[in-house]
Chains A and B, each alone.
Chain A
Amino acid sequence: MRDVAVVGVGLSKHVSKRRDVNIPELVWEGVSAAYEDAGITPRDLDGIITGNMPAFEGVNLPELWGAGHWGAYNKPVLRITTGGTTGGSVGHGAFYAVASGLMDTVIAIAFEKQSDGDSTAGLNTVAVADMAPFLSYGIDPAFMLAFGGGAVGVAVYQASSYMKRSGCTPHHLDKVSVLCRTNAAKNPAAHLKQPGLTPEEVARTALMQYPLRFGHVCPASDGACAMILTTAEKAKKLTDKPAFIRSVASCSEEGALVGIAAAGTANTDPCAQEGCKVAAANAYRKAGIKEPRQEIDLAEPYAPFAHQLLMFYERLLLCDEGEAPSILDSGSMELDGALPVCPSGGVISTNAIGASALERIAEAALQIMGKAGEHQVEKDVHKAVAHGWGGAVNLNVVAVLADTPTPRG
């Protein structure tokens, strides 16, 4: 295993409809920013790892349509698509390429241009593709489509269950939205920026599907994220302060269903997220982190829905189960707090689906490199954890980043 360094990060602006550019042109914005940030050109690359969820654009093989626009001419291209975790898996794939010694310098690219697609068609194709599992588990598909099989349907059962188990109140959900959307206001790449937002304003948004209000739910964004990964040796020549990806770990739970089984598996409590705990424990162990609660300086959990920021904070083993709501109350998760959470504004502020889990890793890297700008957290960030959740709502992906390489031996 070789050490893997992040030497460049690029993000396009994220908005709900980029009608002016096509998919390759949009992705180019993030990609060219990453090359510029790293100070390299595509000639320095050994390979390209990319992914999105093509159902959302209705474009098959966009990675090949756009290949030349992101510097792939004459290079190996590999696509990875794992649902909501796509960007995280793309980051993991890029890590594997460098850590294994098979490639020295790679670019990880993840994106979504949801405005090109039919918003419900995107989700429907996901849902339609789930019909066979529905049938095989004896669930009536018509019932599922009518009662919460859509995007929010993935999360509402989980939210109810988490709130019961943790004591998280609707007010906590409102405060999570405020934390994220006010952070997003300081992030030029973020989509929903709401400076000065108050919990009362969130509480006044319409109820979407119990217990989640519109103010608790992510927008649909167009956007792209790219990261350049290379060896520790090559990183030295490019930057004084790289961020190292110390480890990646992912964990698939049992086959799961969108909707009634919501967010866990067909058999367990959807807020249990045992897979996240397994992935986090593995990632910390591989990263040489024994006490994540003391050692982790910053967390970017994947939370398109408000309760998930608290739930995944717990499942990432950063506190006891049920403690996250009171930690939120303490102010510790703020930009100037002891363990800032989602300084980028998180997925609840910006969700270009395929890109979102890579953007968690990108934010951790930016914070460690000290390049986050206005949303740079107050404390020095030595170690950070980045997370993604998706697949068939049964996959958790975790990456641990640090300002020093993994201790060996």
Chain B
Amino acid sequence: MKSGEGLKNVKRMSVPFAPVFNWSVGNWMEQFFDGLKQKKILASKCAACGRVYLPPRMICERCFDKTEEWVELPETGTVETYTMAHVGVADNGELEDLPEPQIIAMVKHDGADTCMAVRVDAQDCNVGLRVKAVWNAEPDGVLDALSAYRALD
């Protein structure tokens, strides 16, 4: 423990601290990730109100019913809102300038009532832009399976 430099009534110390968390994704997201491995976009549907959740969640929060029905959605969707990132986070946790600005959009897949946040590669992005998912060659069941979305012609 060292005295705070130049500060009255302050003591400085360092505490080693390296936590490892193991967050469970849950039953519904596990099925979503399994679907990605087979290039399927799986959403869950509430039987009571018909809302379709993508990404899926166990409970329709409006009805408090379990969403027991699964629907496969198309790769196409619409940009609901978007931003363009100029700064990203490097592996060491520091901020860094991106080589190219990156569009990040809230995309509502056709047939879904909720949005997913995805990368979009497009010259001009706008609210209402129609986009399509681009799969990785070998999707491995994590979110990276969908590498980026491109504008529909």
Q: Which residues of A contact B (CB under 8 A)?
A: 18-25, 28, 41-42, 57-59, 67-69, 71, 73, 113, 115-118, 120-121, 124-125, 128, 131, 135, 140-141
6 CB < 8 A contacts A-B: A19-B24, A24-B59, A25-B58, A58-B21, A69-B59, A124-B19
Known: A22-B25, A73-B64, A128-B15. A118 touches B20 (CB 8 A): yes
Could you tell me if B26 and A128 are in contact, using CB atoms closer than 8 angstroms? no
| B29 touches A (CB below 8 Å) | yes
Residues of A close to B26: CB separation below 8 A: 20-22, 24-25
Q: Which residues of B contact A (CB under 8 A)?
A: 1, 11, 13, 15, 17, 19-29, 57-59, 61-62, 64
Could you tell me if B17 and A20 are in contact, using CB atoms closer than 8 angstroms? no
Could you tell me if A118 and B19 are in contact, using CB atoms closer than 8 angstroms? yes
Known: A67-B61, A71-B64, A73-B64. A116 touches B23 (CB 8 A): yes
Distance, CA A18 to CA B62, complexed state (A): 26
Distance, CA A113 to CA B24, complexed state (A): 10
* A141 nearest CB neighbor, chain B only: B13
Could you tell me if A68 and B21 are in contact, using CB atoms closer than 8 angstroms? no
Residues of B close to A24: CB separation below 8 A: 26, 57-59
Known: A121-B17, A141-B15. A69 touches B23 (CB 8 A): no
* A140 nearest CB neighbor, chain B only: B1
Distance, CA A116 to CA B13, complexed state (A): 29
Contact of A21 among B17, B27, B57, B62 (CB under 8 A): B27
A129 to chain B, nearest CB (A): 11
Could you tell me if A117 and B61 are in contact, using CB atoms closer than 8 angstroms? no
Contact of B19 among A20, A58, A135 (CB under 8 A): A58
B110 to chain A, nearest CB (A): 24
B37 to chain A, nearest CB (A): 19
B123 to chain A, nearest CB (A): 36
Could you tell me if B61 and A69 are in contact, using CB atoms closer than 8 angstroms? yes
Distance, CA A177 to CA B57, complexed state (A): 40
Residues of A close to B21: CB separation below 8 A: 57-58, 116-118, 121
Could you tell me if A69 and B58 are in contact, using CB atoms closer than 8 angstroms? yes
Known: A71-B64, A141-B13. A28 touches B24 (CB 8 A): no
Residues of B close to A121: CB separation below 8 A: 17, 19-21
13 other A-B residue contacts (CB within 8 Å) besides A116-B21, A125-B19: A21-B27, A22-B23, A22-B24, A22-B25, A22-B26, A22-B29, A24-B59, A41-B64, A57-B23, A118-B21, A120-B19, A121-B19, A141-B13
* A113 nearest CB neighbor, chain B only: B24
Could you tell me if A115 and B13 are in contact, using CB atoms closer than 8 angstroms? no
A265 to chain B, nearest CB (A): 23
* A66 nearest CB neighbor, chain B only: B59
* A116 nearest CB neighbor, chain B only: B23
A77 to chain B, nearest CB (A): 12
